[in-house]
Amino acid sequence: MIKVKKRKILLLPGDGIGPEVIREVKKIIEWFNKNKSLDFEIEEDLVGGSSYDKHKTPITDEVFYKALESEAVILGAVGGSKWDNLEFSKKPERALLKLRKELKLFANLRPAICFKQLVNASTLKPEIVSGLDIMIVRELIGGVYFGEPRGIKPIDNGERKGINTHTYTSSEIARVARVAFDLAKKRKNKVTSCEKSNVMEAGQLWKEEVQIVHDKEYNNVELSHMLADNCAMQLLRNPKQFDVIVTDNLFGDMLSDEAAMLTGSLGLLPSASLGAKDKNGNMRSMYEPVHGSAPDIAGKGIANPIASILSFSMALRYSLHLDKEADNLDLSVQKVLDDGLRTQDIFSKGNKEVSTETMGNAIIANLQK
């Protein structure tokens, strides 16, 4: 008998509402195993503050090696005020940085989609955000968050100096640019590259290297360059001018959060962090909702699980090569929203407010139709 290698999915619920939303993802994975004869092997472990509480470290070596051996990592959320006073190396967020860096997850994909059912939840006028569909590609393991030297040190006059180094190489820029161009070819064929080339040498290099990749490999894709501060303004003024935005780690962090809020709720938005493909087309990856751990509502059963569920949909699409299943899951989410079901964060008059669990169950019920 031929043994079929099961595909490992590592669930890392984390802190705050993380365990609540990941619980709904786990139910969906189990539904696919049972009803679509898929072969996902689920593992679950601690990360972030919950890991620190038990092991005095935000991620253990054992969990890290489990991540290395998994086809996809699905993370809930990490952090909370409970751990604010820990030394920097012990903070829950350091687990995220370690996973991104050590798994070489250099490309972060954050879609900003305004669901038609929630146009009125946006703070912008409906005509500005209706039909919005942007993909922001953020370089994730370079730039100022990882550059050396870094730290805080005393200086001669009794003051202290904080140091962070913003640095990129040609290859680091080129590989994330290729991800953006490849995505654009499957969308509207348009890439906007954002930097601060007017005041930063690293920004000048970014602009030049993206242009080189375009001219050599993707000259059939429309490319434009935009200063990052102008991009921040244009996202509010006319967001539908964008298709794919590619930018560095720092600007990507800020611009993707801004774009997310155009949609009306962070509770709906997923993200993917991807590494390089091997010769077989496989890659390391991690998927997580854009929202944080929201400790103020943890344990109340009111968190929105949709962002985590759509993060699993991205895993189906990008890591597990199951586009049909991803399409079905996306459609199930749309149907639930069409039916007027809303968690507290997106509730408005005329809809039905439901719990985290009820929302997850409703999405599974629509998968069965």
Tens-digit pLDDT profile for residues 27-61: 999 999 999 888 899 999 999 999 999 999 999 99
Q: Are residues 95 and 170 in the same domain?
A: no
Averaged pLDDT, 51-79:
96
Give the contacts of 169 (CB within 8 A, at least 6 positions apart): 142
Q: Are residues 164 and 132 in the same domain?
A: yes
Q: What is the pLDDT of residue 5?
A: 54
Cα of 276 vs its chain's centroid, Å: 16
- What CATH number is attached to the domain comprising 192? 3.40.718.10
Domain count, the chain: 2
Averaged pLDDT, 78-104:
93
Q: Are residues 250 and 117 in the same domain?
A: yes
* Structural domain harbouring 295: 1-106+275-369
Has residue 80 been placed in a domain? yes
Residue 341 has pLDDT above 90, yes or no: yes
Q: Are residues 61 and 122 in the same domain?
A: no
CA dist 82 and 49 (Å) reads 8
Averaged pLDDT, 137-155:
95
Averaged pLDDT, 306-323:
95
Has residue 182 been placed in a domain? yes
CA dist 256 and 277 (Å) reads 24
CA dist 140 and 144 (Å) reads 10
Q: What pLDDT digit, counting tens, does each position of 253-294 carry?
A: 999 989 988 887 777 889 999 998 888 878 899 999 988 899
Has residue 14 been placed in a domain? yes
Q: What is the pLDDT of residue 53?
A: 97
Residue 359 has pLDDT above 80, yes or no: yes
Answer with the one of 206, 234, 265 that is the final residue of a domain. Answer: 265
Q: Are residues 23 and 124 in the same domain?
A: no
Q: What is the pLDDT of residue 1?
A: 32
Percent share of the chain, pLDDT over 70: 99
Q: Is 234 exposed, middle or buried (0-12, 13-18, 19+ CB in 10 A)?
A: middle
Q: Are residues 312 and 330 in the same domain?
A: yes
Q: Mean pLDDT score of the chain, rounded to an integer?
A: 94
Residue positions annotated with a catalytic role:
145, 196, 229, 253, 257
How do beta strands 285-289 and 270-274 pair? Answer: antiparallel
Q: Are residues 65 and 192 in the same domain?
A: no
Q: Are residues 123 and 195 in the same domain?
A: yes
Residue 4 has pLDDT above 60, yes or no: no
Q: Are residues 34 and 62 in the same domain?
A: yes
The interaxial angle of helices 323-338 and 306-318, nearest 10 deg, is 160
Of residues 350 and 223, the one with the higher pLDDT is 223
* Cβ 221 vs Cβ 190: under 8 Å: yes
Q: Are residues 307 and 333 in the same domain?
A: yes
* Cβ 7 vs Cβ 285: under 8 Å: no
Averaged pLDDT, 332-344:
94
Answer with the one of 243, 265, 287 that is the final residue of a domain. Answer: 265
Has residue 61 been placed in a domain? yes
Percent share of the chain, pLDDT over 90: 84
CA dist 273 and 262 (Å) reads 21
Q: Are residues 235 and 289 in the same domain?
A: no
Has residue 249 been placed in a domain? yes
Answer with the one of 218, 246, 265 that is the final residue of a domain. Answer: 265
Has residue 270 been placed in a domain? no
Residue 74 has pLDDT above 80, yes or no: yes
Q: What pLDDT digit, counting tens, does each position of 167-186 carry?
A: 999 999 999 999 999 999 99
Q: Are residues 116 and 258 in the same domain?
A: yes
Q: What is the pLDDT of residue 2?
A: 37
Tell me the Ramachandran region of residue 220: left when phi exceeds 0, alpha when psi lies from -120 to 50, beta otherwise.
alpha
- Find the range with the poorest average confidence among 33-37, 118-122, 233-237, 299-303: 118-122
Of residues 138 and 4, the one with the higher pLDDT is 138
